[in-house]
Amino acid sequence: MTKPSHFLKRNADNEPVCGCGFRPAILDDAAPVGIQWKAKRDVLDHVDALSGFRPSAPFDGSQDRKFPRAGVRPGASGRWKLTLWDEEGVMHPLPLKSQWHDTAREAFEFGQLIIGAHWRSGTRLNGTGR
């Protein structure tokens, strides 16, 4: 008998689930704000508990932070602000139109696009090597 694999993935409904089939109960909650983020956190906690490791991601809030990284927070206007960092305490400036997004998902995806490209190329956001 094979042991189930524990890793973060998306199901057919684009929800964060574990490779073993674990689906966080929070996904059944009616509140729309933050469900995907909280469900992803629940799956990563499940993976940690059963596998002893955590997949690395730009938005992972673990103590051993990797840079460059990104963060998203809600603004007073209801839009979401994307912030990028080259290293601890060094924020990378973005053009104003690229800072604000209509949804948290849009902001996270834009940040993932930028950060992922820099991680793969091995450079900081300013173009210098890490």
Query: For the segment 27-61, what is each residue's pLDDT rounded down to a tens digit?
Result: 887 766 677 878 888 888 877 777 654 444 445 55
CB-CB contact of 88 with 65 (8 Å): yes
Task: Return the structure tokens found at 113.
Answer: 């696009």
Could you tell me the sign of the dihedral formed by the alpha carbons of 20, 24, 28, 34, in that order?
negative
Q: Beta strands 69-74 and 16-18: pairing type? A: unpaired
CB 94 within 8 A of CB 84: yes
Residues 6+ apart with CB under 8 A from 73: 80, 81, 83
CA distance 82 to 102: 11
Predicted model pTM: 0.48
Rank 61-65, 93-97, 101-105 by mean pLDDT and report only the highest: 101-105
Q: How far apart are CA 83 and CA 99, in angstroms?
A: 7
Nearest to 55 by CA among 5, 114, 91: 5
